[in-house]
């Protein structure tokens, strides 16, 4: 079974400034009304994923990261390490919010893993076959006649 990318995160030196930048650029609605001023991004669309814009600690480099949802994050973190990854942030629980961790892949790219189900909550809708009528002539709406 696959694992879905469920969240992106932009971490900047000036979180508020970057929240304003991306909001103005893409028309995102960003809610940073929380104790850590973490900007939860609502793109306003059903397609794609939502994300967040936060502020890094002084002296750290800004970075962008995406999160993959898995049922057992510690198992995935252990597997990533066995394949050459390095733990950046061990599995961390933010009560009533999220359980997540971050690793750096063998090339140095950071990837987050977040706890959650690995199955679709709503099955994908099957597309119905087209009910369009077959055209029998080069002209619309008129059947060809044989003479």
DSSP notation for 89-110: EEEEEETTTEEEEEEE-TTS-E
The topology (CATH level 3) of 5-115 is 2,3-Dihydroxybiphenyl 1,2-Dioxygenase; domain 1 (3.10.180)
Mean pLDDT by 10 residues, the chain (147 residues): 90 95 95 93 93 95 94 96 96 93 94 89 59 51 49
| Domain limits, the chain | 5-115
pTM, whole model, 2 decimals?
A: 0.73
Q: Do the beta carbons of residue 116 and residue 71 sit within 8 Å? A: yes
């Amino acid at each position: 079974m696959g694992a879905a990318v469920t969240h992106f995160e932009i971490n900047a030196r000036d979180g508020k400034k970057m929240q304003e930048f991306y909001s103005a650029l893409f028309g995102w609605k960003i809610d940073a009304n929380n104790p850590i001023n973490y900007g939860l991004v609502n793109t306003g669309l059903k397609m794609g994923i939502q994300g967040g814009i936060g502020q890094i600690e002084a002296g750290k480099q800004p970075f962008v990261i995406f999160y993959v949802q898995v049922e057992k994050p510690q198992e995935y973190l252990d597997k990533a390490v066995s394949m050459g990854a390095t733990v950046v942030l061990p599995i961390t629980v933010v009560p009533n919010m999220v359980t997540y961790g971050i690793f750096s892949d063998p090339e140095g790219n950071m990837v987050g893993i977040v706890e959650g189900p690995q199955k679709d909550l709503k099955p994908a809708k099957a597309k119905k076959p087209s009910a369009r009528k077959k055209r029998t002539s080069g002209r619309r709406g008129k059947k060809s006649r044989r003479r």
